[in-house]
Structures are given as structure tokens and as C-alpha cells.
């Protein structure tokens, strides 16, 4: 038997030698297609500009030119301008080497008046080799807020390292990707509550200690706590009190409610978790203290763990948003779109498995003003679901209602697949109802590009 086995190996090896053309590395590369991210978007009365994104299937190795034709009901310069500028109705712009997207920014002219039927049309008419035109080469920008009838969206999650958190606005047919390490803390803007959340997409953890003075806190205060922060590799049940509970309940955050009595607000040791990369770099330790200020907002005091002085940042409440964000490096930062400008988000996330915190890939979250119902395909197929089927659904406001249920299987050495047993109904903050079905986890076999289709079921 041993001789037979060896002979078999020799036969395989010989086969590999005589047919080198079958090697995977010699397989033809897929076409690199260029197209608009979506077919239509709107620019509201309060917006002064709009960024229109053109995407490629993969990054280019050299600057690649695109030509876009511009039309519509408006006059250039009098009503609007673009960057890059349009000349004789055409915009020439490059896709820069190493990039897989290009942006055209439309800006309203000062004093211009717009009506609901005003629009601009854009059409990609040529691209430099080896990029070729895709299927969605036309785009319409309407000068009013649209309510999308649906479409297909490929989330720009940043690839295999899950670099972005991506916010989707179904009614606007748009997405906003933000580097998931751009911020550290989020400050709730609700009038009657004072809550602070951690960046759960980078495995952040926080532990309260019995001190009020930041200067008296040192690395020695991390002893013991430091043993619990490695849950990106091995779930550690003792770490559970130090994360924000995944369901989004603000009464179950690692940082307690900020008291009106300053002395009650203790210092927290914060482990910033991990950054973007493979291997993911450690982001280090901070110490923070948060109090209310006289202007009706928050004051954050923060410093490196061994520092004897600290930085102070005031964060005002703003009812336009659910949270305002701060980075320890750069101060106040824009992260989450306005409260009514997103419905779902895709992200790397501090989930729970086996009763312990664990960084989970491909989690879908819902906004705080959004409700979601799960529909089993066995009960009603996606294509057959209509307005009459809305009656009797069970709605959930838990931010992880979809969570990881849109995918199935997966393990240490096995990639997950799309779950085919259910889809979702999303009711947004304006009572528009959409059915949503996920169709892919990858693009060109690379993780980090969630894809879904959606369709308007009932307009609010």
C-alpha cells in the first residue's frame, strides 16, 4: 500500500510539471469595470454640495483617465459647479494609481434657486485601458430629497482587514464609509440621558477605578485588567463588564451614565483595542474622565496612561445626530451621519460568543430610529413579499436584530456563506418600508464587501 501511495504522488507531481498553464497564477484576471456607485441620489435643500462616487472593480496600477458627460436642466456656473470642472459638458478626471474610486463633487451656486424636478445627469463615456465600462454608467442627481425604489449596493468595507464601518441610507440610495479607527468615544445627544459609548469596531474596553484625579492614575492601575483585553483571539468571559453590550442598550455601557455631580464621575482606564491591519496593531492605553459642563454638554478629560497632565475637550449636544464623536488624537470628528441619514451599518464588531466578548466580522447594525422584522423564505419568498405582507410582522429595535444572522457557517478555516433562509424588512425613521436581501460577503473572493439588494415595499 505504501508503494502504491508513493506512485500516486509521483503521478500527481508529473502532471503538475507537464501542464504549467493550469497554475492559478496564470489564470486571466477578471475585467476591471468602472461604474457609478448608484443610479440616482438626491441633494436636499439644506445640502450645499454632493459627492458622486465612481467605483472600479479593483485598484489600478497607474493613473487612469475617465471622461464623464454632464447634462440636465441646470446651467453650469449659474446654478452649480463641479470639481473637477466641466468643460463643454464633459468632466475629465483620473482614477489615481492604487485607488479604486473617483469622486465628482457638485456644489450649488450661491443664491441659486432649485425646484423639485431640477436634475443633473452624468454618463461615463470613456475610460483608459485596462479599465472598461460596467453596466451602471449613468447617474441622476435630483435637486430634492429622493425616496429610492431600491437597488443593489456593494458596501465599501475596505477589504479583508475590514477597515471601514459603512453606513447605508436606503431611501437615499447611498452609503458612507468611515475608517473604523477614526474615533474612540461617542457621546449621546439625547436631551434626557448622558451616555458615552466605546468604539466597538476596534475592540475597545473600559474599566472604572476608584479615583477622580487623572494625574494619580498610572500603568500600575491596569494590572489585572490587562489580562482581559485579548478577546480578539480568545473569548474571555471576565471581560464582559468592560464592553458596551452589543444590543445597543445605553443602560448597559462600560462607562456609567455621566452624573450631574462632578465628584461622582470616576476615572476610567481605556484599552483602545486594535487597529486596522494583519496583524492588527495594538492601539494602547488611555485614562479618561467625563463630566457635564455648564453649556449643557460633555467635557472629556483624557491622557496617556503615564501622563501627569491631560487634554480637555467640550462636546455639545446636537439633536441632529444620535451621537457626536471624539478621537483621542484629533479631537471632535465626523463619523455617524445625521439621525435620519442612515438606516443600517456594516462593521467589525465586539459581539458576544459563548458568554464572552469577541470581535466578529460582518455584523449588520440598525439605527436607533429603525425597526427590523425577519421574514422566513419558507413563509413568503422575497419576490412575493408585498405591502399586504407587512401585517403581523414582529418588529425589533435591538441594533443587532440582523447582526450576523445574514450569514451562515464559517469557522477557523472555513469562510461563511450567505444565509438563504431569511430576509429582512426595514422600517426607516420616515416610515418607509424596504425589503432587504443579502447576496454576497465578498467581491472577487475578497471579504469586506457586503452586497445586498433592496426594494421599496411601502412609502412613508
What does the DSSP 8-state code read for residue 274?
Answer: B
Give the closest residue to 453 by CA, choosing from 177, 178, 179, 168. 168
153 occurs within a structural domain: no
Contact 47, 169 (CB under 8 A): no
- 261 and 364 both lie in a single domain: no
290 occurs within a structural domain: yes
Whole-number percent of the chain with pLDDT over 90: 81
- 323 and 448 both lie in a single domain: no
99 occurs within a structural domain: yes
- 192 and 321 both lie in a single domain: yes
- 282 and 220 both lie in a single domain: yes
The pLDDT value given to residue 356: 82
Helix, strand, coil abundance in the chain, percent, nearest 5? 10, 40, 45
Domain-ending residue, one of 333, 367, 391:
333
The pLDDT value given to residue 17: 31
Contact 342, 365 (CB under 8 A): no
- 421 and 375 both lie in a single domain: yes
- 264 and 361 both lie in a single domain: no
Q: Give the span between the Cα atoms of 93 and 88, in whole angstroms.
A: 14
414 occurs within a structural domain: yes
The pLDDT value given to residue 355: 81
Rg (the chain; Cα; Å): 25
Q: What is the pLDDT of residues 356-386, one digit of tens each?
A: 888 888 999 999 999 999 999 999 999 999 9
DSSP per residue, 49-111: EEEEEEEESS--SS-EEEEEEEEESS-BTTTEEEESPEETTEEEEEEPTT-SEEEEEEEEPTT
- 219 and 310 both lie in a single domain: yes
Domain-ending residue, one of 277, 308, 333:
333
- 270 and 194 both lie in a single domain: yes
SS3 assignment for 197-208: EECHHHCCEEEE
Contact 434, 456 (CB under 8 A): yes
Model pTM?
Answer: 0.87
**What does each C-alpha distance from 406 to 159, 292, 411 come to in angstroms?**
18, 40, 15
Residue 135: strand, helix, or coil: coil
Would you place residue 295 in the very low, low, confident or very high pLDDT band (cuts 50, 70, 90)? very high
Q: Give the span between the Cα atoms of 11 and 17, in whole angstroms.
A: 10
How long, in residues, is the chain?
460
Peptide bond into 84 cis (omega under 30): yes
- 264 and 376 both lie in a single domain: no
Q: What is the pLDDT of residues 234-251, one digit of tens each?
A: 566 778 889 999 999 999
Q: What is the pLDDT of residues 113-126, one digit of tens each?
A: 999 899 999 999 99
259 occurs within a structural domain: yes
In the predicted model, what is the mean pLDDT of residues 43-60?
Answer: 94
- Sign for the CA dihedral angle at 31, 32, 34, 35 comes to positive
133 occurs within a structural domain: yes
**What does each C-alpha distance from 236 to 239, 256, 359, 429, 459 come to in angstroms?**
6, 22, 11, 37, 45
- Residue 215 domain boundaries: 185-333
What does the DSSP 8-state code read for residue 280?
Answer: P
368 versus 352: the higher-pLDDT residue is 368
- 366 and 433 both lie in a single domain: yes
Q: Which three cell numbers stand for residue 82?
A: 463641479
Mean pLDDT, the chain, as a whole number? 90
Peptide bond into 53 cis (omega under 30): no
Q: Which three cell numbers stand for residue 288?
A: 479618561
**What does each C-alpha distance from 385 to 96, 376, 402, 435, 456 come to in angstroms?**
43, 11, 18, 8, 11
Give the closest residue to 66 by CA, choosing from 32, 43, 28, 110. 32
Q: Give the span between the Cα atoms of 55 and 102, in whole angstroms.
A: 7
Beta strands at 356-366 and 344-353: parallel, antiparallel or unpaired: antiparallel
Beta strands at 331-333 and 371-376: parallel, antiparallel or unpaired: unpaired
The pLDDT value given to residue 26: 52
Q: Give the span between the Cα atoms of 392 and 385, in whole angstroms.
A: 13
- 38 and 139 both lie in a single domain: yes
Q: What is the pLDDT of residues 137-192, one digit of tens each?
A: 999 999 998 999 999 999 999 999 999 999 999 999 999 999 999 999 999 999 98
Element (H, E) at 383: none
- 83 and 194 both lie in a single domain: no
In the predicted model, what is the mean pLDDT of residues 72-90?
Answer: 97
Q: What is the pLDDT of residues 329-349, one digit of tens each?
A: 999 999 999 999 999 999 999
Q: Which three cell numbers stand for residue 213?
A: 484625579
Q: What is the pLDDT of residues 402-438, one digit of tens each?
A: 999 999 987 767 788 999 999 999 999 999 999 999 9
Element (H, E) at 435: strand 433-443
287 occurs within a structural domain: yes
pLDDT of residue 4 exceeding 50, the answer is no
Whole-number percent of the chain with pLDDT over 70: 91
Q: Dihedral (C-alpha) 411, 353, 337, 115: value to the nearest 10 degrees? A: 60
Element (H, E) at 329: none
Number of domains observed in the structure of the chain: 3
19 occurs within a structural domain: no
CATH number for 41:
2.60.40.2030
What does the DSSP 8-state code read for residue 355?
Answer: T
Domain-ending residue, one of 113, 145, 177:
145
Q: Give the span between the Cα atoms of 193 and 323, in whole angstroms.
A: 12
Q: Give the span between the Cα atoms of 328 and 305, in whole angstroms.
A: 12
Amino acid at each position: 500500500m505504501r508503494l502504491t501511495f508513493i506512485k500516486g504522488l509521483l503521478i500527481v507531481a508529473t502532471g503538475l510539471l507537464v501542464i504549467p498553464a493550469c497554475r492559478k497564477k496564470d489564470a486571466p484576471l477578471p475585467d476591471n469595470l468602472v461604474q457609478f456607485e448608484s443610479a440616482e441620489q438626491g441633494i436636499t435643500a439644506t445640502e450645499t454640495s454632493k459627492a458622486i462616487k465612481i467605483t472600479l472593480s479593483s485598484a489600478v496600477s497607474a493613473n487612469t483617465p475617465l471622461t464623464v458627460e454632464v447634462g440636465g436642466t441646470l446651467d453650469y456656473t449659474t446654478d452649480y459647479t463641479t470639481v473637477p470642472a466641466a468643460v463643454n459638458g464633459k468632466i475629465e478626471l483620473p482614477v489615481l494609481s492604487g485607488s479604486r474610486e473617483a469622486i465628482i463633487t457638485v456644489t450649488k451656486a450661491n443664491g441659486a434657486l432649485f425646484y423639485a424636478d431640477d436634475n443633473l445627469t452624468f454618463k461615463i463615456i470613456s475610460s483608459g485601458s485596462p479599465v472598461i465600462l460596467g453596466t451602471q454608467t449613468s447617474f441622476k442627481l435630483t435637486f430634492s430629497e429622493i425616496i429610492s425604489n431600491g437597488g443593489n449596493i456593494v458596501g465599501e468595507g475596505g477589504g479583508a482587514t475590514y477597515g471601514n464601518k459603512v453606513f447605508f441610507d436606503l431611501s437615499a440610495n447611498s452609503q458612507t464609509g468611515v475608517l473604523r479607527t477614526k474615533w474612540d468615544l461617542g457621546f449621546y445627544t439625547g436631551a434626557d440621558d448622558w451616555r458615552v459609548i466605546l468604539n466597538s469596531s476596534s475592540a475597545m474596553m473600559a474599566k472604572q477605578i476608584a479615583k477622580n484625579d487623572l494625574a494619580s492614575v498610572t500603568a500600575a492601575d491596569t494590572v489585572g485588567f490587562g489580562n482581559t483585553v485579548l478577546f480578539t483571539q480568545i473569548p474571555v468571559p471576565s471581560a464582559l463588564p468592560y464592553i458596551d453590550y452589543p444590543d445597543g442598550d445605553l443602560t448597559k455601557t462600560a462607562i456609567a451614565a455621566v452624573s450631574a455631580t462632578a465628584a461622582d464621575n470616576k476615572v476610567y482606564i481605556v484599552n483602545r483595542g486594535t487597529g486596522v491591519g494583519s496583524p492588527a496593531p495594538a492601539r494602547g492605553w488611555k485614562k479618561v474622565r467625563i463630566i457635564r459642563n455648564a453649556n449643557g454638554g460633555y467635557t472629556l478629560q483624557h491622557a496617556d496612561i503615564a501622563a501627569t497632565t491631560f487634554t480637555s475637550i467640550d462636546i455639545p449636544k446636537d439633536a441632529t445626530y444620535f451621537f457626536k464623536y471624539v478621537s483621542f488624537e484629533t479631537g471632535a470628528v465626523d463619523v455617524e451621519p445625521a439621525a435620519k441619514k442612515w438606516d443600517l451599518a456594516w462593521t467589525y464588531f465586539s459581539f458576544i460568543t459563548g458568554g464572552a466578548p469577541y470581535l466578529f466580522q460582518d455584523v449588520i447594525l440598525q439605527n436607533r430610529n429603525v425597526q427590523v422584522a425577519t421574514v422566513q423564505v419558507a413563509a413568503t419568498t422575497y419576490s412575493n413579499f408585498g405591502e399586504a405582507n407587512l401585517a403581523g410582522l414582529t418588529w425589533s429595535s435591538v441594533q443587532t436584530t440582523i447582526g450576523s444572522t445574514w450569514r451562515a457557517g464559517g469557522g477557523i478555516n472555513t469562510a461563511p456563506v450567505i444565509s438563504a433562509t431569511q430576509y429582512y424588512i426595514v422600517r426607516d425613521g420616515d416610515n418607509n418600508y424596504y425589503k432587504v436581501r443579502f447576496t454576497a460577503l465578498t467581491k472577487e473572493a475578497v471579504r469586506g464587501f457586503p452586497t445586498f439588494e433592496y426594494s421599496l415595499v411601502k412609502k412613508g
